[in-house]
Structures are given as structure tokens and as C-alpha cells.
A = this chain, B = another copy of it.
Amino acid sequence: MNLEFTNEELAFQEEVRSFFAEVVPKEWLTRVRAGLRLEPKELIAYQKALAERGWGAPNWPKEFGGTGWGPTQIYIFESEATRAGAPIQFHQGLELIGPIIFTYGSDEQKKRFLPGIINADDWWCQGYSEPGAGSDLASLKTTAAKDGDEYVLNGQKMWTSYAHVASHMFVLARTSNEEKRQQGISLLLVDMKTPGIQVKPIDTMDEKHHTNEVFLDDVRVPVNNLVGEEGRGWGYGKVLLDRERMVSAANAIHIQQVIDGARAAAERLIAGVPLYKTPTFSSKFAQLEIEATALKTMVLRLMADAAAGVDSGPRGSMVKLRWSELYQSAMGLWLEALGPEAAHFRGLENTQAPSDMPYAMQGALYSRVTSIYGGSSEIQRNIIARRALGL
């Protein structure tokens, strides 16, 4: 039992560190720390830099263009990214549809779509959720009717993040009605330029456009774009279960950025003393750091399990739960650190607020959705109770 890195791993750490020192611009820092996604063009530039270095897909096997890294390397990579103020890579392509394509897709699909994900020529969005479906995904209503060499899609998708910038969407649609609601659902790859697709922004309280409704009106998709077999799309999600823990782990490692953001904000003087030195703020901040230490060690254990090929049970769900709680707390502390000026969201008439003020407020508002999306905290607890505790 030990926490040390080998000499090889230390050398790798150096390599990654100098790479990030070069590619991460300072102007990203505040937004990254506030947990806000960068602009699409910034994310694309970042992904292209990674791809050029051969690190576009840290979690993918080598044969599909990934790095083939083991968990310790991935941990080092994400830790250094965190340290350098780099964002989390956009995950809809890399972590959601990519792995499904390289596991269940046809050779043609692999050849066509995998490189575009790594080098950011394509931008994928996820067409799963529907109005009223929420956590109950199996009740989806979008249909895909076969018509010759094409499927004809009709329906409405909801919460489609970044559909407004995406070039492609992967869609779950019903190809037949079976008694068991999970059956008869197929997975299709759709070019966003196809006629009949309409994207409508959803206005959210953080005032950042990141999600959409997508209307599908006689959208014709070549049958070649069906992934795997018809009617078995629901099952393909299972490949994600194992990968989800890596997404949660990456998020959790990046929590340090939010904590650093709150800490930097607390350099502000209050009655002449830096806020972080006042006992009540200091003890709340220490509590946050301590809980983040626990989270980080949970991630290390998850990584060690993954390295050993061991099932880490519900630890992925636990990490997701605790990550969202800590992110929300950290943003709360950040707002507190801003003091009265936390209310200054947007300067009017060319007035500027200090750069972290609007982003901190936006980040604090955005943070609320992290305990809702990807399986709300309540759903995660249901899952842990059932799978891990047998209740």
C-alpha cells in the first residue's frame, strides 16, 4: 500500500505539466474555476491541441486513436490539467458516443466518426431526454420508421446540450413498440444538417446558452447510421456504466479548480483583513478542503480499482454525488467572498465588474443543475441503495 508514483510516472507528470503550461491561456482561468464551459471555439482549440499531441482521447484504447493510458496516467493527466487551469474536455463525443461506436459500431462508422471526435472536426450532442421523460428515459416517444434505406425520425428531444453548435447528434428512438418499454429502442447517428431538424434554445437561470430543445420532423437518416442492431439501443448504454466512473472521477479531480477560485476570491480585504484569514470563513474553507481531500482519495481508490480491473461498486455514484455537493458549496463560498458586490451581475452602460463577479454568480447558478443531470442525487441514492446495499 502506497501513494507514491514510480519514476516513470513522475517523468510523465513532468511531460504533461510542461504541455499544459504551454497550451492553457490565462483568460480561461476564471470561467474554468467557476465550473463554466468555455466557448465552443475555445474548447475546439483545446481539443485540437490535445489531439495534435496524441492526447485527444485519454480514456480510449490505442487502436481507436486513444492514448491507451492506464488509470494512474489518466489521474496524473487530469490532476495536471486541473493544476494548470485547463478545462474538462467536452465529453459527449469522447465519453458518450465514441465508446459506443468503437464497441458496437460498424467498421465504416468507426472509420468515419472516431477521428472526428478526437480531432474536434465533429461536435456531438446527445438526443436522449424528452419532454416529460426526465429520469424515466424508457418512456421516450420519438419514433424512427424504416422507409427503404432510411429511417424517418419524428419527435422532440429536450436538454440537448450544445445542439446549437453540434455537427452530429446521437439519438435514441423507438423503432417498434414492445411490451417491455426498454425494448424496441434503437440508436441512430444523425447529421445536424439533415433537413427537418430544428434547434430551439432553452433559457436557463444562469443566462448561459448551453442546452436546447430539438424538434425532429421527418428527419431522414441512412440505415447505415444505425448503431449495432435495431431495437437494442437501450442496452448499448450499458457500456457507459463502466466509463461513467471515469467521467465522475475527472470532474472530481477538477473540483480543486473551484476551490482555488473561492480561495482567490477570499483574498479580498474585509475591514482590512483578507477574508480567508477570518476564523469563520477559514473554518468553512477548511471544511471544504477536507471534504475535497476525501473526494480525491475516493477517486484514487476508484482509479486503483480500475487499474486492477476490479469493480468499484457504487463508488462512481458516490463520487458524482459528493462532487456536485462540493461544487455547490464552493460556489456558495465564492459568492460569500465577493461580499456586497456579488449582486453585480452585468455592468450596464459599459461598466465592468471585476472579472470573477459575473462568472462566480453564473457558476453558482449553473452548479444547481449538477445535482440534477446525469441522474439526480435522488436517483443516484436509489441506485446505490439497490445495487450496493441490496435494499
Q: Name A residues whose Cβ lies closer than 8 Å to a Cβ of B.
A: 278-280, 283
Measured between beta carbons, the chain B residues less than 8 angstroms from A283 are 280
| A283–B280 CA distance with the chains assembled, in angstroms | 8
| A280–B278 CA distance with the chains assembled, in angstroms | 10
Measured between beta carbons, the chain B residues less than 8 angstroms from A279 are 278-280
A185–chain B nearest beta-carbon distance, Å: 33
Measured between beta carbons, the chain B residues less than 8 angstroms from A278 are 279
How many copies of this chain are found per oligomer? 2
* Majority-rule SS of A interface residues: helix
A144–chain B nearest beta-carbon distance, Å: 39
Provide a sorted-by-A list of 5 A–B residue pairs whose CB atoms are within 8 angstroms. Answer: A278-B279, A279-B279, A279-B280, A280-B280, A280-B283
| A283–B279 CA distance with the chains assembled, in angstroms | 10
Please give me the residue from chain B that is nearest to A278 by CB atom. B279
Please give me the residue from chain B that is nearest to A279 by CB atom. B279
A238–chain B nearest beta-carbon distance, Å: 35
A286–chain B nearest beta-carbon distance, Å: 10
| A304–B152 CA distance with the chains assembled, in angstroms | 67
Which 4 pairs, one residue from A and one from B, show the smallest C-beta to C-beta distance?
A279-B279, A280-B283, A279-B280, A280-B280
Measured between beta carbons, the chain B residues less than 8 angstroms from A280 are 279-280, 283
| A247–B283 CA distance with the chains assembled, in angstroms | 38
| A187–B280 CA distance with the chains assembled, in angstroms | 55
| A279–B278 CA distance with the chains assembled, in angstroms | 9
Please give me the residue from chain B that is nearest to A283 by CB atom. B280
Please give me the residue from chain B that is nearest to A280 by CB atom. B283
| A332–B97 CA distance with the chains assembled, in angstroms | 51
| A277–B89 CA distance with the chains assembled, in angstroms | 48
| A278–B282 CA distance with the chains assembled, in angstroms | 13
A285–chain B nearest beta-carbon distance, Å: 12
A282–chain B nearest beta-carbon distance, Å: 9
| A279–B279 CA distance with the chains assembled, in angstroms | 6
A331–chain B nearest beta-carbon distance, Å: 21
A317–chain B nearest beta-carbon distance, Å: 24
| A294–B259 CA distance with the chains assembled, in angstroms | 33
A270–chain B nearest beta-carbon distance, Å: 14
| A283–B278 CA distance with the chains assembled, in angstroms | 12
| A36–B283 CA distance with the chains assembled, in angstroms | 33
